[in-house]
């Protein structure tokens, strides 16, 4: 290893290009996440008290709501959250489970119509060890997928290029929600 590689800031020399996304560090350090030792209120409990546009809520049911993910994997990445603060799927009532699934199915239809999504990743991370960023409040992910959306940027550069602002995606999805 040469002194130049260390002073250049990249560490060991290799053929990789580096794309830096320092804005993600705030999330990794706990921004908007209730963690041991901080006093952050559960965002999924707080969000429903806000105006839909401000909160990025796409739709509200009686027991759950659909909101844009602030840290999306893809444009249009939605979360279906229960209003009630419960951590895991077995803690939900039957009617909550039914509404979460109905909102998920409807969200998929809206994403297909509004953004031409051709596939989806639907997922629930239960517990911090599984990757749940907010482990204490149940939420299900709806990640729209398109052919070619997994290009070199996320695979090699570990950086996601989102073609729309969250507010634009939210407005488009909210407008299409009741048309399906």
The model carries a pTM of 0.75
Q: Strand, coil or helix: what is 12?
A: coil
Beta bridge mates, 143: 121
Task: Give the pLDDT mean for 29-41.
Answer: 67
* Per-residue tokens: 106: 């409807």
Query: Residue 170 pLDDT > 70, yes or no?
Result: yes
Per DSSP, helices labelled H in 29-146 are 43-46, 52-55, 94-115
Over range 152-174, report the average pLDDT: 74
Question: Residue 6: is its pLDDT beyond 70?
Answer: no
Please determine, for residue 11, whether its predicted confidence score (pLDDT) is greater than 60: no
We find that the CATH architecture of domain 61-180 is 2-Layer Sandwich (3.30)
Element at 155 (helix H, strand E): helix 152-155
Return the CA Rg of the chain.
Answer: 19
pLDDT of residue 2: 44
- Residue bearing the bigger pLDDT, 152 or 78: 78
Which pLDDT score, from 0 to 100, does residue 24 have? 57
Inform me whether the pLDDT recorded for 3 exceeds 50.
no
Does the pLDDT of residue 18 top 60, yes or no?
A: no
pLDDT digits (tens, 9 = 90+) for 95-146: 999 999 999 999 999 999 999 999 999 999 988 888 778 889 999 999 999 8
Q: Which residue among 77, 106, 137, 139 is the active-site one? A: 139
Active site residue 139: yes
Residue 180: its pLDDT value, please? 84
Q: Dihedral (C-alpha) 91, 97, 101, 106: value to the nearest 10 degrees?
A: -120
* SS3 call for 145: strand
**What phi, psi does 80 have (nearest 5°)?**
-105, 115
H helix runs in 19-128, sequence order: 23-28, 43-46, 52-55, 94-115
């Amino acid at each position: 290893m040469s002194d130049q590689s260390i002073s250049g800031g990249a560490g060991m020399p290799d053929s990789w290009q580096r794309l830096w996304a320092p804005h993600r560090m705030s999330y990794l350090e706990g921004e908007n996440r209730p963690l041991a030792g901080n006093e952050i209120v559960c965002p999924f409990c707080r969000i429903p008290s806000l105006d839909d546009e401000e909160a990025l809520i796409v739709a509200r049911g009686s027991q759950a709501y659909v909101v844009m993910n602030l840290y999306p994997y893809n444009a249009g990445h939605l979360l279906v959250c229960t209003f009630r603060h419960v951590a895991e799927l077995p803690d939900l009532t039957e009617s909550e489970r039914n509404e979460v699934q109905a909102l998920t199915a409807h969200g998929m239809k809206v994403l297909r119509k509004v953004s031409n999504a051709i596939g989806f990743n639907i997922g629930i991370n239960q517990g911090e060890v599984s990757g749940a960023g907010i482990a204490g409040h149940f939420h299900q992910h709806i990640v729209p997928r398109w052919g070619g959306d997994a290009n070199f940027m996320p695979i090699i550069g570990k950086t996601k290029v989102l073609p729309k602002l969250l507010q634009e995606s939210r407005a488009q999805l909210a407008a299409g929600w009741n048309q399906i």
